[in-house]
Amino acid sequence: MAASWRRCQKCRKVLPVDDFEGDSEICRADASKAAAATTVGTRASVTTRVTTTRPRVPTTPPRDIRGHGDVEVRARRARSRALDRLSEVHAEEFAEILREERASEGL
């Protein structure tokens, strides 16, 4: 009984010996598929590319980010803004400006 069945090496199906051509290791179905693929040949594929222009999204100004983020980051941001303002104002007012910026950050 085992001699009347054989496993195809291509599709790995166990098929009756009648589905094979002589001592061939692949079944007739796979052999015909392979023959059809070689007779069809290769043809150049044609690709068409359609490009569409996307409308430009208007850039929005950055959001006000005060009061968001980690406490250390907010403290550094407040100090940075205070230092920027200090360059325009006198050195004696630095502490007052820093206090205002920290308060706006909720520190």
- Average pLDDT score over residue span 21-40: 84
Q: Which residue has the higher pLDDT, 99 or 60?
A: 99
The answer on pLDDT for 1 being more than 60 is no
pLDDT in tens, 34-91: 888 776 555 656 677 777 777 776 666 666 666 667 888 888 888 888 888 877 777 6
What is the domain partition of the chain in residue ranges? 2-40, 71-104
Torsion from C-alpha of 96, 99, 104, 107, nearest 10 degrees = 180
In 3D space, the residue among 33, 10, 29, 12 whose CA is nearest the CA of residue 21 turns out to be 29
